[in-house]
Amino acid sequence: MSRVLVARLDSVGDVLLAGPAVRAVANGRRADGGSPNDVVVLCGPQGQAAASLLPNVADVFAWDTPWISNPAPQVTGPHLDSLVGFVRNSRITEAVILTSFHQSPLPLALLLRLAGVERITGASTDYAGSLLDVRLKPGEDFPEDQPEAVRALGIARAAGFRLKTGDDGKLMVKDPPAVRHLVGDGPYVVVHPGATVPARAWPPLHHAAAVELLEGAGHRVVVTGGPGETALTATVAGPSAIDLGGRTDLSTLSGVLANADVVVTGNTGPAHLAAAVGTPVVSLFSPVVPAVRWAPYGVPLELLGDQNAPCRLSRARICPVPGHPCLSSVSPEQVVEAVERLLSGVSSLSTRRKVRKQ
């Protein structure tokens, strides 16, 4: 059994979107008789928890990448040696480097060559020389405007790896845990107000108003957020919604999202986690990156936000337009209407995978 490295040097959502490609690599090559591989996922520190949730992963190594992380770590010999040493000692013979359109696989490919990796596949607009054995040219070998999960799967396919027969290529995580002790009994809607990038966040008071309207329409609401977002989730939850701010790790959050009827969130990791457990998403999507690539993949979706706002495709982390109009123009009433549209069609959608673990 070969050990193959799959690299996605980013955070939670990026790693989850790499899941179908990871499963393809684990499945092996048809030319080799479909012999399975041990997959080692290389990710950034923020993506480690997500990588641990992916099926068919034998090992995870988190490395703070100087050309990806923000803020970036210093480039030092010991820091580079930590990666080279791990790869060399892990008996890795092949690597598939997954990147977005604005990233290059070449710095990592160079380090992997130094670690002795024999075969490397990646997508590069720049001349790769001897760094890549299989090089895809973005915009020529595949279109740039496609979902990131499809892009990643295409890179794995170029390396010769295919999904198992019957695998639909959607996002997937290991079975979510039971969460009844957190969410109680009965249906609910999740509202996740936080975002690591401020330009992608809907205003907190808009979230709070949406929660109040959802409760007024008869829905139970669960508000989720990380340990540093407890003040935000308390504001949004108000006096009667269930406030899980700071009370869930990523695995537990997958259970909360899996049992929800709909998730309301921005373009952030939990949006992709919701997609990975098959839950419909109301996506409050700032157009700083293109929705065709980064919207929740493979689930019923309501996309809200002005996709033609002046910040479009700017990749801004802080909104460059006064008043943040791309998202602040979305009203709480519009969010509630989007939730109701998804709820009215959920029972007829045979593509929805739900794993209820209450």
The model's confidence at residue 346, banded by pLDDT at 50, 70 and 90, is very low
Output the pLDDT for position 320.
Answer: 84
Output the pLDDT for position 311.
Answer: 86
Q: pLDDT tens digit string along 158-193?
A: 999 999 999 999 999 999 999 999 999 999 999 999
Q: Tell me which residue of 8, 115, 116, 15 sits closest to 65, measured CA to CA.
A: 8
The model's confidence at residue 24, banded by pLDDT at 50, 70 and 90, is very high
| pTM assigned to the model | 0.93
346 versus 93: the higher-pLDDT residue is: 93
The model's confidence at residue 34, banded by pLDDT at 50, 70 and 90, is low
Structure tokens at 311: 């910040």
pLDDT > 90: percent of the chain: 84
Query: Does 101 score more than 90 pLDDT?
Result: no
269 versus 346: the higher-pLDDT residue is: 269
The model's confidence at residue 353, banded by pLDDT at 50, 70 and 90, is very low
Average pLDDT over residues 306-323: 83
Query: Does 313 score more than 80 pLDDT?
Result: no
Output the pLDDT for position 164.
Answer: 94
Q: pLDDT tens digit string along 265-299?
A: 999 999 999 999 999 999 999 988 999 999 999 99
198 versus 247: the higher-pLDDT residue is: 247
Mean of per-residue pLDDT scores for the chain? 93
Q: pLDDT tens digit string along 111-152?
A: 999 999 999 999 999 999 999 999 999 999 999 899 999 999
312 versus 335: the higher-pLDDT residue is: 335
Output the pLDDT for position 198.
Answer: 84
Q: pLDDT tens digit string along 45-93?
A: 999 999 999 999 999 999 999 999 989 999 999 999 999 999 999 999 9
The model's confidence at residue 33, banded by pLDDT at 50, 70 and 90, is low
Q: pLDDT tens digit string along 193-246?
A: 998 888 888 999 999 999 999 999 999 999 999 999 999 999 999 999 999 999
Alpha-carbon distance of 241 to 188, in angstroms, equals: 10
Output the pLDDT for position 355.
Answer: 47
